[in-house]
Amino acid sequence: MSLAQTVADIRRHGDWSRLPQAIPFARMLKLRVDVRGESFTSVLPYEPSLIGNPLVPALHGGAIGGFLECAGILHMLWSTDAPSIPKTINFSIDYLLSCRPQDTYANVYMVKLGKRVSNLRIEAWQTTPDKPVVVATLNLLMR
């Protein structure tokens, strides 16, 4: 089954928990999504293999960056009728605090939804959404 068919099937049945399985990198990170009404949160479950600095210990920045990019793309597939994965144009990340060895969550905010280009702000947190550990801006080319 193609990605477009998989996403269409997920939309039809409303089973958003299957969405991360449709993207290989999200599947490798074991991402989950939590959809409650109009609320969409991506979850990066803690795995010891995600540790980048064992002395602190802290999650690897590359894993966090990949998680945030996937969170943005998954949000776009959930919130729009996009038939395929939007393409990343640029992505900037601000690491605010060390990500501790625990689950990490991401909320995505649509800044601009355009016909060709969309802009998202993504905030990752671990203990409370009011205390983000990483924020990112993602520009996507809508196909």
- Sequence-distant (6+) residues with CB within 8 A of 45 are 30, 31, 32, 103
Q: Which residue has the tokens 């991402």?
A: 31
Cα dihedral 40, 46, 47, 51 sign: positive
Average pLDDT, the chain: 93
Whichever domain contains 77, its CATH number is 3.10.129.10
Span 78-96, pLDDT tens digits: 999 887 889 999 999 999 9
| 14-72 confidence digits (pLDDT tens) | 889 999 998 889 999 999 999 988 899 999 999 999 999 899 999 999 999 999 999 99
Overall number of domains in the chain = 1
What would you report as the CA-atom Rg of the chain, rounded to the nearest whole angstrom? 15
The residue segments making up the domain with residue 117 are 3-141
Of 71, 73, 64, the closest CA to residue 107 belongs to 71
Distances (CA, A) of 102 to 25, 29, 50, 68, 92: 20, 14, 10, 16, 23
pLDDT value of position 89 = 97
Q: pTM (2 decimals)?
A: 0.93
